């Protein structure tokens, strides 16, 4: 059993700390936010993540998981200290490192014996060495030793518990063999592949992995836009590509682009790192531009279907950037809904989890509803932005009867073309033929 302190109770810190407790360690999760810590002590989870509440309650009851605002005391009582604070994107696109540096300073001030300091936050290459300097500069006792490790996280929101308990690899970087071995042993109960490397390479692996996946998404979205112009079906194209073992089928789902806490921030950060290093990363910059433009594909399809948006009532199904999370960071809805309102439409919106988070960030003119069916009543078109299960499984016959016009613009390709044909929808998806548009055009020509 290891004594672990996790500084930061955001998404990464809370999930990682809870999972370390689940495999038998004593974990203290720290935060300066007294309200958040008080709620966690009462079993209230500040983020939506399936299975997390039950895991927190079990490990707290078994006295393996604790929450505190006394960061210094937690540091002194631990062998391993994880830094899992936020590194938000700054105005220049680089990662904002102020919270990491604050954590390093506090660690230095409370270093009372040998400890391993682990960067879990996504940080630019060179941060490990910077943390080392800050800790060293703030040590009270010159004889205290410490090592710095990079152990980047690869958690997906909505499946983070499974990703942590069944991780496909643990990347561990350090210039200390002792620290590498201890952190490797810490991960052994997860039964994962362990990859040891140097500090800088581990830091780069996180950015490289995320930006490569973002590249796959932007690539397939570009292919989708071509497919629409040449009569191909991007879902067939992606499936055929994915059968190639060199490519694989993951992250080849065409849609309205990536969002969330990682891909947007990490792509901008790596582009900034490259610029700072004197390399013009043109490919990555193109990925970013492609993703930003892809959101407006939905707007174009909607305007075409309705002949303009002024005075139209639009149902928007799904607000979070992906299913099984309430995370609104860089969600397509934050771009599309304000644009709908700007162009004269009114918006009725639905999301099973993210409404409270959405209210804070979306204009007050948006009307929210508790059920899919309520949302679409009297609307001129329906737009799908998040593929929640209850949206994918909605009764198409009922939805058609509630819409003023049977028009669906699907940014996530939730339905088969055959099903939409059968139910008589005019169906616009991404990278596939439009269904029943000719029928609408014939109808318009008769009047």
| Nearby residues of 443 by Cβ (< 8 Å), 6 or more positions away | none
Query: Does 3.40.50.720 match the CATH number of domain 3-196?
Result: yes
Identify which of 47, 46, 1 has the alpha carbon closest to the alpha carbon of residue 27: 1
- Which residues of the chain does CATH 3.40.50.720 include? 3-196, 291-445
Identify which of 292, 294, 405, 388 has the alpha carbon closest to the alpha carbon of residue 349: 388
Per-residue model confidence (pLDDT) at position 443? 46
Averaged confidence pLDDT in the chain? 95
If you average pLDDT over residues 227-234, what whole number do you get? 97
255 labeled binding residue: yes
If you average pLDDT over residues 192-202, what whole number do you get? 97
| Cα separation, 277 vs 75, whole angstroms | 35
| Cα separation, 111 vs 115, whole angstroms | 8
- Which residues of the chain does CATH 1.10.1040.10 include? 207-288
pLDDT digits (tens, 9 = 90+) for 318-343: 999 999 999 999 999 999 999 999 99
36 labeled binding residue: yes
pLDDT digits (tens, 9 = 90+) for 97-118: 999 999 999 999 999 999 999 9
The answer to whether the beta carbons of residues 199 and 119 sit under 8 Å apart is no
254 labeled binding residue: yes
**What are the structure tokens assigned to 164, written together?**
């942590």
CATH for 291-445 (3.30.420.40, 3.30.360.10, 3.10.20.90, 3.40.50.720): 3.40.50.720
Per-residue model confidence (pLDDT) at position 438? 55
Q: What is the dihedral of CA 307, 310, 311, 312, to 10 degrees?
A: 50
pTM of the full predicted structure? 0.92
Q: 428: which strand partners?
A: 409
Identify which of 369, 419, 380, 429 has the alpha carbon closest to the alpha carbon of residue 396: 419
User: In the CATH hierarchy, which fold is given to the domain comprising 207-288?
Assistant: 1.10.1040
Does 53 or 261 have the greater pLDDT score?
A: 53
Q: Active-site positions?
A: 262
127 labeled binding residue: no
pLDDT digits (tens, 9 = 90+) for 55-79: 999 999 999 999 999 999 999 999 9
Average the pLDDT over each of 114-118, 217-221, 433-437 and give the range with the smallest value.
433-437
pLDDT digits (tens, 9 = 90+) for 296-314: 999 999 999 999 999 999 9
Model confidence at 444, in pLDDT bands (50, 70, 90)? Answer: very low
């Amino acid at each position: 059993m290891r004594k672990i302190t996790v500084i930061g109770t955001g998404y990464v810190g809370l999930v990682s700390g809870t999972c370390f407790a689940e495999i038998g360690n004593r974990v203290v999760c720290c935060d300066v936010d007294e309200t958040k810590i008080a709620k966690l002590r009462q079993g209230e989870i500040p983020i939506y993540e399936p299975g997390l509440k039950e895991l927190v309650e079990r490990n707290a009851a078994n006295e393996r998981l604790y929450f505190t605002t006394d960061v210094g005391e937690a540091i002194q009582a631990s062998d391993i200290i994880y830094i899992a604070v936020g590194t938000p994107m700054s105005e220049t696109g680089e990662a904002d490192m102020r919270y990491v540096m604050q954590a390093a300073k506090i660690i230095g001030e409370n270093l009372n014996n040998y400890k391993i300091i682990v960067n879990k936050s996504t940080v630019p290459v060179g941060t490990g060495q910077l943390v080392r300097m800050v800790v060293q500069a703030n040590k009270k006792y010159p004889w205290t030793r410490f090592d710095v490790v990079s152990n980047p996280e690869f958690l997906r929101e909505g499946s983070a518990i499974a990703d942590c308990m069944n991780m496909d690899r643990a990347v561990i970087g350090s210039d200390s063999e002792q620290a590498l071995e201890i952190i490797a042993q810490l991960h052994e109960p997860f039964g994962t592949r362990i990859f040891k490397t140097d500090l800088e390479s581990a830091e780069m692996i996180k950015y490289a992995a995320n930006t490569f996946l973002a590249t796959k998404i932007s690539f397939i979205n570009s292919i989708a836009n071509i497919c629409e112009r040449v009569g191909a079906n991007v879902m067939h194209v992606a499936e055929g590509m994915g059968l190639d073992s060199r490519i694989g089928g993951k992250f080849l789902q065409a849609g309205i682009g990536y969002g969330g806490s990682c891909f947007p921030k990490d792509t901008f950060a790596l582009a900034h790192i490259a610029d700072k290093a004197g390399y013009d990363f043109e490919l990555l910059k193109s990925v970013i531009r492609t993703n930003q433009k892809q959101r407006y594909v939905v707007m174009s399809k909607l305007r075409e279907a309705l002949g303009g948006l002024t005075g139209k009532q639009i149902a928007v199904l799904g607000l979070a950037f992906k299913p099984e999370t309430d995370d609104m960071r860089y969600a397509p809805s934050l771009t599309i809904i304000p644009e709908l309102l700007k162009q004269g439409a009114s918006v009725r919106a639905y999301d099973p989890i993210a409404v409270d988070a959405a209210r804070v960030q979306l204009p007050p003119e948006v009307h929210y509803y508790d059920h899919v069916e309520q949302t679409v009543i009297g609307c001129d078109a329906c737009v799908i932005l998040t593929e929640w299960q209850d949206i994918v499984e909605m009764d198409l016959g009922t939805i058609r009867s509630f819409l003023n016009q049977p028009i669906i613009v699907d940014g996530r390709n939730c339905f088969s073309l055959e099903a939409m044909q059968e139910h008589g929808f005019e169906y616009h998806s991404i990278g596939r033929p439009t269904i029943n548009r000719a029928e609408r055009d014939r109808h318009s020509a008769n009047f």
